[in-house]
Amino acid sequence: EANILQRPGNQHGKDLLLQGQSPKSGQIFKNPLLAQTFKELAQSGKRGFYEGRIAKAIVETIQRNGGVMSLGDLKEHTSTEVAPIFTDYKSLRIWELPPNGQGITALMVLNMLENFNIKEMDHNSADYVHLLAEAVKLSFADSFQFCADPARVLVPVEELLAKNYSKQRSELINMQRANSKSIHGNPSGAGGDTVYFTAVDAEGSACSFINSNSTNFGTGLVPEGCGFALQVSKSTNKQQPLCTVSPA
């Protein structure tokens, strides 16, 4: 555990160690440097952290290790007042911070657990721990996929907390075995896939049309003035790679 504090470039990691080792249970660890930081925050408030000595120390450490944060970045920081989110777990209403925080993950776990009779399981029994672990894995798969800065991306909070969605997700839990790979769900219910249609006129002339880029928008590269994106494909020496189209 102490190794991460002793990496090259981490000149002051030793400040959090006792004689070069992580403090152990029962040992007394004094941190006068943190006490001084708290005193400065008490005296100067927000400015004591985002400007001045503490800010300079933070920026110097980050830049010395290859980061790009500047004093201006810290000085321009603002806090936002957000509306909490909630779910109803049986007779209780549980409140959490919204995304970009991960409080929604805990709410999704509770929603899934509602679909099981936990009272029949002994506390910390194999079934009890297994159920919680599987629900947490599925919930984190969703939060890692969908939760980000709500000012920049649309986070489907209402859909992620919908009871019918949690029911669908809970059905992925197998009480006999662990899920080795938990993947995110589709809370909006909308899907994206290959577009295909066939048109036939009265004279029998037909057109079979398929629009497949392997993944959504393929490479994302759009030739100027052409109206389509290039497909994801790798080939060398004029070889023909696997093609995903299979028109009728």
CA 153 to the chain's CA centroid:
13
Alpha-carbon distance of 131 to 115, in angstroms, equals: 11
Per-residue pLDDT band for 1 (boundaries 50, 70, 90) equals: low
List, in sequence order, every residue forming a beta bridge with 206; answer none if it has no partner: 200
Average pLDDT (185-213) is 78
Q: Give the tokens for residue 179.
A: 């899920």
Q: Let me know if 219 is a catalytic residue.
A: no
How high is the mean pLDDT of the chain? 84
Q: Diameter of the chain by CA atoms? A: 90
pLDDT of residue 107: 97
SS (H, E, C) 185-241: CCCCCCCCCCEEEEEECCCCCEEEEEECCCCCCCCCCCCCCCCCCCCCCCCCCCCCC
Alpha-carbon distance of 166 to 113, in angstroms, equals: 9
Given 78, 105, 194, 244, the catalytic residue:
194
pTM of this structure: 0.69
Please name the fold of domain 85-171: Serum Albumin; Chain A, Domain 1 (1.10.246)
What is the domain partition of the chain in residue ranges?
1-78+193-247, 85-171
